Amino acid sequence: MASEVDDEVVQESQRDTPTRDQADQLGQLLRRFAHRATSFWCADLAVPTSMTYDGTQYTLEVLTLQGVGKPAPSTVSTSTPVITGQPILASREGTLLPLAPWLLARTEPASGTVRCLTGSRAGS
């Protein structure tokens, strides 16, 4: 009985640690997926920093989040207001989709760096 348990532990630990070849295959698969996803991506992840209303539409100053690089400033127009400081998906057709409470943003006071947090960890 103890031998069976030991064999299961060994097999489980072997499943937890991929071989170099498996890690390389997974890396290639993830790169292919990321390339395809970005090739067909139809929206930008952005965090509105300010909003003005001209009587007919809202103009949002946003920071567009792009991978691990610095957020890029941009402007988005919409007919409906959004909450500044919280992430949105901005489609190329102009539709804005708020992502809170699933994805939240926090700006570091000292550096102004915007960080996105999943809703389940945002309170941590």
pLDDT along the chain (124 residues), means of 10: 56 68 87 75 86 95 83 90 89 84 79 68 44
- 44, exposed or middle or buried, with CB in 10 Å at 0-12, 13-18, 19+? middle
Residue 64 lies in a domain: yes
Residue 29 lies in a domain: yes
Residue 10 lies in a domain: yes
Residue 63 lies in a domain: yes
* pTM of the predicted model as reported, rounded to 2 decimal places: 0.58
Residue 123 lies in a domain: no
pLDDT at site 10: 54
Q: Identify whether residues 113 and 52 lie together within a single domain.
A: yes
Q: Identify whether residues 31 and 49 lie together within a single domain.
A: no
Which residues, 6 or more positions from 123, have their beta carbon under 8 angstroms from its beta carbon? none
User: Which CA distances in Å does 74 have to 5, 47, 50, 77?
Assistant: 58, 10, 11, 10
Q: Identify whether residues 18 and 75 lie together within a single domain.
A: no
Q: Name the residue range of residue 94's domain.
A: 43-118
> What is the amino acid identity at position 62?
V
Distance CA 32, CA 39 (A): 11
Domain count, the chain: 2
Q: Identify whether residues 111 and 53 lie together within a single domain.
A: yes
Q: Identify whether residues 27 and 76 lie together within a single domain.
A: no
Alpha helices for the chain (secondary structure H): 2-16, 20-39
Q: Identify whether residues 47 and 33 lie together within a single domain.
A: no
